[in-house]
Amino acid sequence: MNVPAPTLCPDCRNQRRMAFRNDQNYYKNICHICEKNIISIYSPDKTIPVLCSDCFWSDKFDPLEYGVDFDFSRPFFEQYGEMRAGVPRIAIFNTQSENSDFTVHSSKNRNCFMASSLVDCEDVHYSDWVMQSRDCIDLLFCTHMEMCYECVFSHNCSHSNYLELCSNVAESFLCFDCRGSQRLVACVSIRNRKNHILNQPASKEECLSTIKKLKTDPKFFADFKKKYEDLKASLPKNANWMLNTQNCTGSYIINSKNAKFAFNVEDVEDARYIYESKSVKDGYDVTRTLGEFLYETQGIVDLSFGKFCNLTYHSDNMAYCDNCQNSSFSFGCVGLKSHKYCILNKQYSQDEYRQLVPKIKEHMNKTGEYGEFFPFKLSPFGYNETKAQEFYPLTRDEVLKRGWNWSDYETPPPDTTKTIPARRLPDDIKDVPDDILYWALESDLSGKPFKIVPQELQFYRKKGLPIPHLSPKERHKNRVALLNSRKLYDRKCDECQTAIKTTYGPDHPEKVFCEECYFKAVY
């Protein structure tokens, strides 16, 4: 890649990239060109001009109109920031989808709502990083799920609720690391079993009746969950949650080879410091990315030979580019669509481009800019709106003290006929009236209002689940809290004393086994 060595630690580099990604906040805004009302990930109080998808792709928007000459007497990021401020941005990244306006960084979905990083899904709501799933709510990092609720890192499961690290599980409730099983209730590390409660055999009828009571009796649920958590704490944990990997370190890794310090990745080869990415080859310092030969990128789809890029799709040989599509051989550009040989959104010939870019890199080396991702202050979001706040939480004062952005914008409260505390709702979904669709529910945690939408109510009724008492953002935050840290610690296997690297720190009370010992324990 011919770049200087990084000046920040891996965590700080990932934090900086995540500060450019808003997945959870949606706003009403107005298209800068056609002036129609649109949904945007940029709040209306910002000065950022936004475009609906039709206007972005039309001839009405030409990103080259905003091009400027490079000034070698000034720092690159200063010039880039000034140019970028005037370039309209696509309001929300959502392509080839139907009735899924409130989804971002997503494609090929149908009837989805309030979800991010969704691909090939139908009727999936309030979820993040979900692929090929349908009829689900509140998922995080899941694939091939059907009729599931509140699941994390689970795959190929159906008609189940509250699953964590499960695969090929059906008709189950409250399970951790269970596989190839059916009708499990509050089970941990079960393999290829049917009809178990708290890891003990039970009848089909006992399992079904227990699940029904868990759905309708909050006290029974709380007491039963305590038993489940105690069971979960008493059994060993796998040092690294991996499947079909070779020479990898990190956690939650699937079908990968030579992936080091990798966290939640699939089909990755020859990569290092890689987070929440899929189908990456030869990547270093990438977050939520798909592509090859990449360095310091975020939100990338099908990019090759890219450096320091953000939200750039189906392109190649790009550097310091943002919100670009179907373009190549460009440097420091915003909003390109099928362009090449551009610098700061100005068109050059191939020869001019090849002569100018090395001079700009040399200038950036002198100013200490080349080799660094975009600085925090250039993020179009407040830090509290971004993924960075989820994994690296900071207070408002801490953010402002660093000179970064913070958003004080408050979305207007929902337009409703009635507001009631969520705790006053009936425990049994059968007793919840249709009128709830016109009410605002006050969260048990924050007291902030949130609404239930029709497709959501239909889902809870179909599943026999109670209405949640927390807002969608609060529920998402609770799911993120289930994840292990993204640091690797040196420990010894609690069974064979072999040296291991794991995301379970030395102060964690769990028994942690190496992969070989763990498999012996569960199979």
What is d(CA 342, CA 324) in angstroms, rounded to the nearest whole number? Answer: 11
| Alpha-carbon distance values, 187 to 146, 179, 212, 267, 404 (Å) | 20, 11, 16, 29, 45
- For the question of whether the overall pTM of this predicted structure is more than 0.85, the answer is yes
What is d(CA 349, CA 357) in angstroms, rounded to the nearest whole number? Answer: 12
Q: What is the pLDDT of residues 37-65, one digit of tens each?
A: 999 999 999 989 999 999 999 999 999 99
SS3 content of the chain, % helix, strand, coil (to 5): 25, 40, 35
The mean-pLDDT minimum among 362-366, 389-393, 504-508 falls in 504-508
Q: What is the pLDDT of residues 113-143, one digit of tens each?
A: 999 999 999 999 999 999 999 999 999 999 9
Give me the long-range contacts of 413-416 (CB less than 8 A, separation at least 24).
413/440, 413/449, 414/440, 414/449, 414/450, 414/451, 416/440, 416/449, 416/451
Q: What is the pLDDT of residues 367-420, one digit of tens each?
A: 999 999 999 999 999 999 999 999 999 999 999 999 999 999 988 887 777 899
pLDDT at residue 523 in the model? 86
Residue burial 32-51, b: 16+ Cβ < 10 Å; e: rest:
bbeeeebbbbbbeebebbbb
- Please give the structure tokens belonging to residue 154: 């689970």
pLDDT at residue 173 in the model? 98
Q: Which of 275, 278, 280 is nearest to 292 (CA)?
A: 280
Q: Give the 3-state secondary structure of residue 183.
A: strand
pLDDT at residue 59 in the model? 96
Phi, psi values for residue 138, rounded to 5°: 65, 60
What is the DSSP pairing of strand 439-442 with strand 449-450? antiparallel
Q: What is the pLDDT of residues 450-503, one digit of tens each?
A: 999 999 999 999 999 999 999 999 999 999 999 988 999 999 999 999 999 999
Using an 8 Å Cβ cutoff, are 49 and 60 in contact?
no
pLDDT at residue 125 in the model? 98
Q: At what angle do helices 204-216 and 218-234 cross, to 10 degrees?
A: 120
Residue 76, C-beta contacts closer than 8 angstroms, at least 6 positions apart = 70, 320, 332, 360, 363, 364, 367, 369, 370
Using an 8 Å Cβ cutoff, are 104 and 401 in contact?
no
Q: What is the pLDDT of residues 192-248, one digit of tens each?
A: 999 999 999 999 999 999 999 999 999 999 999 999 999 999 999 999 999 899 999
Q: What is the pLDDT of residues 266-320, one digit of tens each?
A: 999 999 999 999 999 999 999 999 999 999 999 999 999 999 999 999 999 999 9
Q: What is the pLDDT of residues 142-201, one digit of tens each?
A: 999 999 999 999 999 999 999 999 999 999 999 999 999 999 999 999 999 999 999 999
Q: Which of 89, 86, 83 is nearest to 69 (CA)?
A: 83
pLDDT at residue 86 in the model? 96
Q: What is the pLDDT of residues 6-20, one digit of tens each?
A: 999 999 999 999 999
Q: What is the pLDDT of residues 67-93, one digit of tens each?
A: 999 999 999 999 999 999 999 999 999
Using an 8 Å Cβ cutoff, are 51 and 31 in contact?
yes
Using an 8 Å Cβ cutoff, are 111 and 344 in contact?
no
- Please give the structure tokens belonging to residue 184: 């499990």
Q: Give the 3-state secondary structure of residue 383.
A: helix
Q: Which of 261, 439, 318 is nearest to 1 (CA)?
A: 318
Q: Is the pLDDT of residue 254 over 80?
A: yes
Other CB atoms within a 10 A radius of the CB of residue 99 amount to 14
pLDDT at residue 414 in the model? 75
